[in-house]
Amino acid sequence: MSAIDLEANFVGLFTALAQIGRHDNGVGSTRLAWTREDLAARAWLTDAADQRGLDVEVDRNGNLWAWWGARDADVVVTGSHLDTVLAGGAYDGALGVVSALTAVDGLRDRGTPLGARSLAVVAFADEEGARFNTPTFGSGLMTGRRDPATVLSRRDGDGVSVGDAMADAGVDPGGVGPDPQRLARIRAVVELHVEQGRHLVDTGHPVALCSGVWPRGRWRVQIDGEANHAGTTRLDERADPMLVLATAIYAARRRAQQGGCRATIGRVDVSPNGASSVASQVTAFLDARAGDDATLDAFAEQWWADVRAGADAQGCRARLEVDSRGAATAFDAELRARLHRRLAPRHPGLPAIATAAGHDAAVLADHVPAAMLFVRNLTGVSHSPAEQAEIDDCLAGVVALTDALEELIGA
Protein backbone atom coordinates (compact mmCIF):
# COMPACT_ATOMS: atom_id res chain seq x y z
CA MET A 1 0.00 0.00 0.00
CA SER A 2 1.45 3.39 -0.98
CA ALA A 3 1.93 6.15 1.60
CA ILE A 4 -0.92 8.13 0.03
CA ASP A 5 -3.28 5.13 0.13
CA LEU A 6 -2.23 4.35 3.69
CA GLU A 7 -3.07 7.87 4.83
CA ALA A 8 -6.41 7.98 3.01
CA ASN A 9 -7.38 4.59 4.41
CA PHE A 10 -6.45 5.50 7.96
CA VAL A 11 -8.07 8.95 7.86
CA GLY A 12 -11.30 7.57 6.41
CA LEU A 13 -11.64 4.98 9.16
CA PHE A 14 -10.56 7.29 11.97
CA THR A 15 -12.83 10.15 10.92
CA ALA A 16 -15.89 7.91 10.70
CA LEU A 17 -15.31 6.47 14.17
CA ALA A 18 -14.52 9.88 15.71
CA GLN A 19 -17.97 11.19 14.73
CA ILE A 20 -19.74 8.59 16.85
CA GLY A 21 -20.63 10.04 20.24
CA ARG A 22 -19.04 13.37 19.40
CA HIS A 23 -20.58 16.21 21.41
CA ASP A 24 -22.73 18.75 19.61
CA ASN A 25 -20.24 21.50 20.42
CA GLY A 26 -17.53 19.48 18.69
CA VAL A 27 -15.44 19.18 21.84
CA GLY A 28 -14.92 15.65 23.10
CA SER A 29 -16.71 12.35 22.62
CA THR A 30 -18.66 10.08 24.95
CA ARG A 31 -19.23 6.40 24.20
CA LEU A 32 -20.03 4.70 27.50
CA ALA A 33 -20.31 0.91 27.56
CA TRP A 34 -23.52 -0.61 26.23
CA THR A 35 -25.06 2.77 25.33
CA ARG A 36 -26.45 3.76 21.95
CA GLU A 37 -23.13 5.42 21.10
CA ASP A 38 -21.11 2.36 22.06
CA LEU A 39 -23.37 0.13 20.00
CA ALA A 40 -22.99 2.48 17.04
CA ALA A 41 -19.22 2.19 17.33
CA ARG A 42 -19.49 -1.59 17.45
CA ALA A 43 -21.71 -1.47 14.35
CA TRP A 44 -19.05 0.68 12.66
CA LEU A 45 -16.41 -1.97 13.39
CA THR A 46 -18.71 -4.75 12.18
CA ASP A 47 -19.29 -2.89 8.93
CA ALA A 48 -15.57 -2.19 8.45
CA ALA A 49 -14.81 -5.85 9.09
CA ASP A 50 -17.51 -6.99 6.64
CA GLN A 51 -16.00 -4.73 3.97
CA ARG A 52 -12.70 -6.57 4.46
CA GLY A 53 -14.22 -10.02 4.44
CA LEU A 54 -13.41 -10.55 8.11
CA ASP A 55 -15.55 -12.96 10.14
CA VAL A 56 -17.22 -11.04 12.99
CA GLU A 57 -17.94 -12.65 16.36
CA VAL A 58 -19.14 -11.41 19.75
CA ASP A 59 -17.70 -13.61 22.50
CA ARG A 60 -19.42 -14.58 25.74
CA ASN A 61 -18.11 -11.43 27.49
CA GLY A 62 -19.20 -8.94 24.84
CA ASN A 63 -15.78 -8.52 23.24
CA LEU A 64 -16.05 -7.98 19.48
CA TRP A 65 -13.71 -10.06 17.27
CA ALA A 66 -13.04 -9.63 13.55
CA TRP A 67 -11.22 -12.72 12.26
CA TRP A 68 -8.88 -12.97 9.31
CA GLY A 69 -8.58 -16.72 9.11
CA ALA A 70 -10.24 -19.56 10.97
CA ARG A 71 -11.79 -18.93 14.39
CA ASP A 72 -10.49 -22.23 15.75
CA ALA A 73 -6.85 -21.66 14.72
CA ASP A 74 -4.02 -20.31 16.84
CA VAL A 75 -4.33 -16.55 16.66
CA VAL A 76 -2.36 -13.32 16.90
CA VAL A 77 -4.55 -10.63 18.46
CA THR A 78 -4.47 -6.88 17.94
CA GLY A 79 -6.89 -4.02 18.57
CA SER A 80 -7.96 -2.04 21.64
CA HIS A 81 -11.36 -0.64 22.71
CA LEU A 82 -14.15 1.60 21.40
CA ASP A 83 -15.65 2.99 24.62
CA THR A 84 -14.53 6.30 26.11
CA VAL A 85 -14.60 8.23 29.34
CA LEU A 86 -17.04 11.11 29.67
CA ALA A 87 -16.03 13.84 27.22
CA GLY A 88 -12.93 11.93 26.19
CA GLY A 89 -10.48 12.43 23.38
CA ALA A 90 -10.65 10.93 19.91
CA TYR A 91 -7.57 8.69 20.14
CA ASP A 92 -7.79 6.66 23.35
CA GLY A 93 -8.73 3.12 22.30
CA ALA A 94 -10.00 4.22 18.89
CA LEU A 95 -6.48 4.68 17.51
CA GLY A 96 -5.65 1.06 18.28
CA VAL A 97 -8.76 -0.34 16.57
CA VAL A 98 -8.40 1.86 13.48
CA SER A 99 -4.67 1.07 13.24
CA ALA A 100 -5.40 -2.66 13.51
CA LEU A 101 -7.85 -2.55 10.60
CA THR A 102 -5.41 -0.48 8.56
CA ALA A 103 -2.64 -2.95 9.40
CA VAL A 104 -4.76 -5.82 8.06
CA ASP A 105 -5.09 -3.91 4.80
CA GLY A 106 -1.35 -3.31 4.81
CA LEU A 107 -0.51 -6.97 5.34
CA ARG A 108 -2.75 -7.98 2.48
CA ASP A 109 -1.22 -5.31 0.27
CA ARG A 110 2.23 -6.69 1.07
CA GLY A 111 1.03 -10.17 0.21
CA THR A 112 1.85 -11.43 3.69
CA PRO A 113 0.53 -14.99 4.13
CA LEU A 114 -1.25 -16.02 7.31
CA GLY A 115 0.41 -19.41 7.43
CA ALA A 116 -1.21 -21.68 10.00
CA ARG A 117 -2.37 -18.82 12.21
CA SER A 118 -5.28 -16.42 12.18
CA LEU A 119 -5.22 -12.72 12.93
CA ALA A 120 -8.00 -11.13 14.99
CA VAL A 121 -8.84 -7.46 15.42
CA VAL A 122 -10.55 -7.15 18.81
CA ALA A 123 -12.51 -4.35 20.45
CA PHE A 124 -12.57 -5.26 24.14
CA ALA A 125 -15.79 -4.36 25.96
CA ASP A 126 -15.89 -1.53 28.51
CA GLU A 127 -12.16 -0.98 28.90
CA GLU A 128 -12.63 2.41 30.53
CA GLY A 129 -15.25 1.34 33.07
CA ALA A 130 -16.60 4.88 33.05
CA ARG A 131 -20.28 3.97 33.29
CA PHE A 132 -20.26 1.23 35.93
CA ASN A 133 -16.77 1.62 37.45
CA THR A 134 -15.72 -1.66 35.80
CA PRO A 135 -12.39 -0.99 34.00
CA THR A 136 -11.04 -3.69 31.63
CA PHE A 137 -14.39 -5.42 31.95
CA GLY A 138 -14.31 -7.66 28.88
CA SER A 139 -10.68 -8.73 29.12
CA GLY A 140 -10.99 -9.13 32.89
CA LEU A 141 -13.96 -11.48 32.59
CA MET A 142 -12.30 -13.47 29.81
CA THR A 143 -9.17 -14.08 31.88
CA GLY A 144 -10.99 -14.68 35.17
CA ARG A 145 -9.62 -11.53 36.77
CA ARG A 146 -13.18 -10.25 37.24
CA ASP A 147 -15.87 -12.22 39.03
CA PRO A 148 -19.25 -11.92 37.26
CA ALA A 149 -21.05 -12.04 40.61
CA THR A 150 -19.32 -8.85 41.75
CA VAL A 151 -19.87 -6.75 38.62
CA LEU A 152 -23.16 -7.67 36.95
CA SER A 153 -25.25 -6.03 39.69
CA ARG A 154 -23.36 -2.72 39.63
CA ARG A 155 -25.50 0.23 38.58
CA ASP A 156 -24.89 3.44 36.72
CA GLY A 157 -26.12 6.87 37.78
CA ASP A 158 -29.56 6.13 36.39
CA GLY A 159 -29.90 2.88 38.32
CA VAL A 160 -29.35 0.59 35.32
CA SER A 161 -27.39 -2.56 36.18
CA VAL A 162 -24.50 -3.95 34.15
CA GLY A 163 -26.49 -7.11 33.47
CA ASP A 164 -29.53 -5.23 32.21
CA ALA A 165 -27.41 -2.95 30.03
CA MET A 166 -25.66 -5.94 28.46
CA ALA A 167 -28.97 -7.70 27.84
CA ASP A 168 -30.39 -4.59 26.18
CA ALA A 169 -27.31 -4.56 23.95
CA GLY A 170 -27.92 -8.16 22.91
CA VAL A 171 -25.26 -9.82 25.08
CA ASP A 172 -26.43 -12.52 27.49
CA PRO A 173 -25.13 -11.58 30.96
CA GLY A 174 -25.71 -15.15 32.10
CA GLY A 175 -22.95 -16.35 29.80
CA VAL A 176 -20.10 -14.12 30.97
CA GLY A 177 -17.03 -15.54 32.63
CA PRO A 178 -13.61 -17.08 32.01
CA ASP A 179 -12.87 -18.27 28.48
CA PRO A 180 -9.85 -20.59 28.83
CA GLN A 181 -10.29 -22.24 25.44
CA ARG A 182 -10.04 -18.89 23.67
CA LEU A 183 -7.04 -17.86 25.74
CA ALA A 184 -5.29 -21.14 24.92
CA ARG A 185 -5.35 -20.31 21.19
CA ILE A 186 -3.79 -16.86 21.57
CA ARG A 187 -0.10 -16.91 20.59
CA ALA A 188 0.53 -13.18 21.01
CA VAL A 189 -1.25 -9.89 21.67
CA VAL A 190 -0.04 -6.54 20.35
CA GLU A 191 -2.08 -3.48 21.31
CA LEU A 192 -1.31 -0.08 19.83
CA HIS A 193 -2.37 2.92 21.91
CA VAL A 194 -1.84 6.65 21.98
CA GLU A 195 0.65 7.52 24.73
CA GLN A 196 -1.00 8.88 27.85
CA GLY A 197 1.81 11.14 28.95
CA ARG A 198 4.74 13.18 27.63
CA HIS A 199 7.66 10.77 27.29
CA LEU A 200 7.65 10.63 23.50
CA VAL A 201 7.08 14.37 23.15
CA ASP A 202 10.07 15.07 25.37
CA THR A 203 12.36 12.50 23.72
CA GLY A 204 11.42 13.12 20.08
CA HIS A 205 10.31 9.61 19.10
CA PRO A 206 7.01 8.97 17.27
CA VAL A 207 6.66 5.36 18.48
CA ALA A 208 7.72 3.35 21.54
CA LEU A 209 7.43 -0.12 22.99
CA CYS A 210 5.84 -0.41 26.42
CA SER A 211 7.91 -2.22 29.04
CA GLY A 212 5.15 -2.61 31.61
CA VAL A 213 2.19 -1.17 33.49
CA TRP A 214 2.13 0.20 37.01
CA PRO A 215 -0.16 -1.50 39.53
CA ARG A 216 -3.43 0.32 40.04
CA GLY A 217 -6.55 0.19 42.13
CA ARG A 218 -10.00 1.71 42.42
CA TRP A 219 -11.67 2.03 45.81
CA ARG A 220 -15.19 3.11 46.73
CA VAL A 221 -15.68 4.80 50.10
CA GLN A 222 -19.17 5.40 51.49
CA ILE A 223 -19.45 8.03 54.21
CA ASP A 224 -22.68 8.14 56.19
CA GLY A 225 -23.64 11.24 58.16
CA GLU A 226 -26.94 12.85 59.08
CA ALA A 227 -29.13 14.99 56.84
CA ASN A 228 -30.15 18.30 58.39
CA HIS A 229 -31.03 21.90 57.70
CA ALA A 230 -28.11 23.98 56.50
CA GLY A 231 -29.38 27.14 58.16
CA THR A 232 -30.68 25.98 61.52
CA THR A 233 -28.27 23.19 62.49
CA ARG A 234 -25.38 24.40 64.63
CA LEU A 235 -21.94 23.43 63.39
CA ASP A 236 -21.06 21.45 66.50
CA GLU A 237 -24.25 19.40 66.15
CA ARG A 238 -23.60 18.20 62.61
CA ALA A 239 -22.43 14.86 61.27
CA ASP A 240 -21.39 16.17 57.86
CA PRO A 241 -19.91 13.60 55.44
CA MET A 242 -18.73 16.38 53.13
CA LEU A 243 -16.06 17.30 55.68
CA VAL A 244 -14.86 13.70 55.63
CA LEU A 245 -14.80 13.87 51.85
CA ALA A 246 -12.55 16.91 52.09
CA THR A 247 -10.24 14.92 54.34
CA ALA A 248 -10.24 12.04 51.83
CA ILE A 249 -9.36 14.31 48.91
CA TYR A 250 -6.59 16.10 50.76
CA ALA A 251 -5.20 12.87 52.20
CA ALA A 252 -5.07 11.27 48.75
CA ARG A 253 -2.96 14.11 47.40
CA ARG A 254 -0.70 14.30 50.46
CA ARG A 255 -0.09 10.56 50.72
CA ALA A 256 0.51 10.30 46.97
CA GLN A 257 3.12 13.04 47.09
CA GLN A 258 4.85 11.35 50.01
CA GLY A 259 4.95 7.95 48.32
CA GLY A 260 5.59 8.92 44.69
CA CYS A 261 2.13 7.68 43.65
CA ARG A 262 -0.69 9.02 41.52
CA ALA A 263 -4.04 9.37 43.29
CA THR A 264 -7.31 10.97 42.22
CA ILE A 265 -10.83 11.31 43.58
CA GLY A 266 -12.59 12.23 40.37
CA ARG A 267 -16.13 11.07 41.03
CA VAL A 268 -18.41 11.89 43.97
CA ASP A 269 -22.08 11.02 44.55
CA VAL A 270 -23.86 13.11 47.20
CA SER A 271 -27.26 12.60 48.83
CA PRO A 272 -29.55 14.48 48.98
CA ASN A 273 -27.32 16.89 47.03
CA GLY A 274 -29.24 20.02 47.98
CA ALA A 275 -27.82 23.51 48.43
CA SER A 276 -29.67 24.11 51.70
CA SER A 277 -29.12 20.67 53.24
CA VAL A 278 -26.37 18.99 55.19
CA ALA A 279 -25.61 15.84 53.22
CA SER A 280 -26.63 12.47 54.61
CA GLN A 281 -24.29 10.34 52.54
CA VAL A 282 -21.30 10.73 50.24
CA THR A 283 -19.81 8.06 48.00
CA ALA A 284 -16.37 8.84 46.58
CA PHE A 285 -14.21 6.87 44.15
CA LEU A 286 -10.44 6.79 44.54
CA ASP A 287 -8.13 5.86 41.67
CA ALA A 288 -4.51 5.23 42.70
CA ARG A 289 -1.38 3.94 40.97
CA ALA A 290 2.24 3.42 41.95
CA GLY A 291 5.49 2.09 40.59
CA ASP A 292 5.22 -1.18 42.53
CA ASP A 293 2.64 -3.16 44.45
CA ALA A 294 4.10 -2.61 47.91
CA THR A 295 4.06 1.17 47.46
CA LEU A 296 0.46 1.13 46.28
CA ASP A 297 -0.68 -1.08 49.14
CA ALA A 298 1.09 1.16 51.68
CA PHE A 299 -0.52 4.24 50.16
CA ALA A 300 -4.01 2.72 50.32
CA GLU A 301 -3.57 1.65 53.94
CA GLN A 302 -2.35 5.08 55.05
CA TRP A 303 -5.05 6.92 53.11
CA TRP A 304 -7.81 4.76 54.58
CA ALA A 305 -6.48 5.38 58.10
CA ASP A 306 -6.72 9.12 57.42
CA VAL A 307 -10.30 8.79 56.16
CA ARG A 308 -11.40 6.69 59.15
CA ALA A 309 -9.89 9.24 61.53
CA GLY A 310 -11.70 12.04 59.70
CA ALA A 311 -15.00 10.17 59.91
CA ASP A 312 -14.58 9.57 63.64
CA ALA A 313 -13.83 13.25 64.20
CA GLN A 314 -17.04 14.28 62.42
CA GLY A 315 -19.33 11.67 63.97
CA CYS A 316 -19.72 9.87 60.65
CA ARG A 317 -19.30 6.27 59.55
CA ALA A 318 -17.05 5.25 56.65
CA ARG A 319 -16.96 1.99 54.72
CA LEU A 320 -14.42 0.98 52.07
CA GLU A 321 -14.82 -1.43 49.15
CA VAL A 322 -12.21 -2.47 46.60
CA ASP A 323 -13.72 -2.08 43.15
CA SER A 324 -10.64 -3.33 41.30
CA ARG A 325 -6.98 -4.01 41.97
CA GLY A 326 -4.49 -4.70 39.21
CA ALA A 327 -0.96 -5.88 39.98
CA ALA A 328 2.13 -4.57 38.23
CA THR A 329 2.58 -5.98 34.73
CA ALA A 330 5.84 -6.59 32.90
CA PHE A 331 5.23 -7.36 29.23
CA ASP A 332 6.76 -10.53 27.81
CA ALA A 333 10.53 -10.00 27.54
CA GLU A 334 11.03 -12.41 24.63
CA LEU A 335 8.18 -10.86 22.62
CA ARG A 336 9.42 -7.33 23.34
CA ALA A 337 12.95 -8.25 22.22
CA ARG A 338 11.64 -9.82 19.05
CA LEU A 339 9.52 -6.78 18.20
CA HIS A 340 12.39 -4.43 19.03
CA ARG A 341 14.62 -6.24 16.54
CA ARG A 342 11.94 -6.00 13.87
CA LEU A 343 11.07 -2.33 14.48
CA ALA A 344 14.52 -0.88 15.20
CA PRO A 345 15.58 -0.45 11.54
CA ARG A 346 12.72 2.01 10.95
CA HIS A 347 13.03 3.47 14.47
CA PRO A 348 16.66 3.78 15.61
CA GLY A 349 16.82 4.20 19.38
CA LEU A 350 13.28 2.88 19.76
CA PRO A 351 12.46 3.61 23.43
CA ALA A 352 10.82 1.29 25.91
CA ILE A 353 8.67 3.07 28.49
CA ALA A 354 6.41 2.06 31.36
CA THR A 355 2.92 3.47 31.82
CA ALA A 356 0.65 4.15 34.76
CA ALA A 357 -2.48 3.67 32.62
CA GLY A 358 -4.37 0.38 32.55
CA HIS A 359 -4.88 -1.55 29.31
CA ASP A 360 -6.51 -4.76 28.10
CA ALA A 361 -3.12 -6.02 26.89
CA ALA A 362 -1.86 -5.83 30.47
CA VAL A 363 -4.77 -7.97 31.67
CA LEU A 364 -4.03 -10.58 29.00
CA ALA A 365 -0.30 -10.47 29.76
CA ASP A 366 -0.82 -12.64 32.83
CA HIS A 367 -1.91 -15.47 30.50
CA VAL A 368 -0.37 -14.98 27.04
CA PRO A 369 2.65 -13.19 25.53
CA ALA A 370 1.59 -9.56 25.18
CA ALA A 371 3.15 -6.29 24.05
CA MET A 372 2.11 -2.69 23.47
CA LEU A 373 3.12 0.04 21.06
CA PHE A 374 2.66 3.72 21.90
CA VAL A 375 2.16 6.57 19.44
CA ARG A 376 3.30 10.06 20.41
CA ASN A 377 0.67 12.35 21.94
CA LEU A 378 1.62 15.96 21.18
CA THR A 379 -0.08 17.42 24.23
CA GLY A 380 0.65 14.58 26.64
CA VAL A 381 -2.98 14.99 27.77
CA SER A 382 -5.36 12.04 27.89
CA HIS A 383 -8.97 11.38 28.92
CA SER A 384 -9.61 14.83 27.51
CA PRO A 385 -10.47 16.40 24.15
CA ALA A 386 -6.97 17.94 24.25
CA GLU A 387 -5.46 14.54 23.45
CA GLN A 388 -3.74 14.84 20.07
CA ALA A 389 -1.55 12.86 17.68
CA GLU A 390 -0.14 14.05 14.36
CA ILE A 391 -1.17 12.12 11.27
CA ASP A 392 2.48 11.29 10.46
CA ASP A 393 2.94 9.79 13.92
CA CYS A 394 -0.28 7.79 13.58
CA LEU A 395 0.89 6.42 10.23
CA ALA A 396 4.27 5.55 11.75
CA GLY A 397 2.35 3.64 14.38
CA VAL A 398 0.31 1.80 11.74
CA VAL A 399 3.45 0.76 9.88
CA ALA A 400 5.09 -0.36 13.13
CA LEU A 401 2.01 -2.41 14.01
CA THR A 402 1.94 -3.91 10.51
CA ASP A 403 5.61 -4.89 10.82
CA ALA A 404 4.99 -6.39 14.26
CA LEU A 405 2.03 -8.45 13.08
CA GLU A 406 3.89 -9.60 9.99
CA GLU A 407 6.68 -10.81 12.26
CA LEU A 408 4.22 -12.82 14.37
CA ILE A 409 1.65 -14.35 12.04
CA GLY A 410 4.18 -16.26 10.00
CA ALA A 411 5.93 -17.85 13.00
CATH of the domain at 357: 3.40.630.10
- pLDDT of the residue at 3: 56
- pLDDT of the residue at 325: 87
Task: Give yes or no for a cis peptide into 272 (omega within 30° of 0).
Answer: yes
pTM for the complete prediction? 0.86
* 266-281 pLDDT, tens digit each: 999 999 999 999 999 9
Same domain, 167 and 269: no
Going by pLDDT thresholds of 50, 70 and 90, the confidence category of residue 2 is low
Domain boundary among 272, 292, 326: 326
Same domain, 322 and 200: no
Nearest-5° Cα angle at 235, 233 to 236: 110
Same domain, 172 and 253: no
Furthest CA-CA distance within the chain: 78
Going by pLDDT thresholds of 50, 70 and 90, the confidence category of residue 145 is very high
Same domain, 159 and 251: no
* 146-162 pLDDT, tens digit each: 999 999 999 998 999 99
Answer with the residue of higher pLDDT: 54 or 133: 54
Same domain, 87 and 43: yes
Asked if residue 27 has pLDDT above 90, the reply is no
CA pseudo-torsion sign 152, 158, 245, 272: negative
Q: Cα–Cα distance between 170 and 109 in angstroms, integer? A: 35
> What is the residue-averaged pLDDT of the chain?
95
- Residue 187 exposure: Cα atoms within 13 Å on the Cβ side: 16
Answer with the residue of higher pLDDT: 197 or 162: 162
Domain hosting residue 288, numbered range: 217-326
Same domain, 277 and 341: no
- 205 Cβ contact partners less than 8 Å away, ≥ 6 residues apart: 347, 349, 350, 351, 376
Same domain, 375 and 398: yes
Paired residues of 287 in beta bridges: 218, 264
Alpha helices in 52-161 (DSSP H): 94-110, 137-143, 148-151
Distance between start and end Cα atoms, the chain? 23
Backbone phi, then psi, for 236, in 5-degree steps? -80, 0
Q: Structural domain tally of the chain?
A: 2
* Burial class of residue 195 in the structure, from the number of CB atoms within 10 Å of its CB (0-12 exposed, 13-18 middle, 19+ buried): buried
Asked if residue 125 has pLDDT above 50, the reply is yes
| CATH number assigned to the domain comprising residue 280 | 3.30.70.360
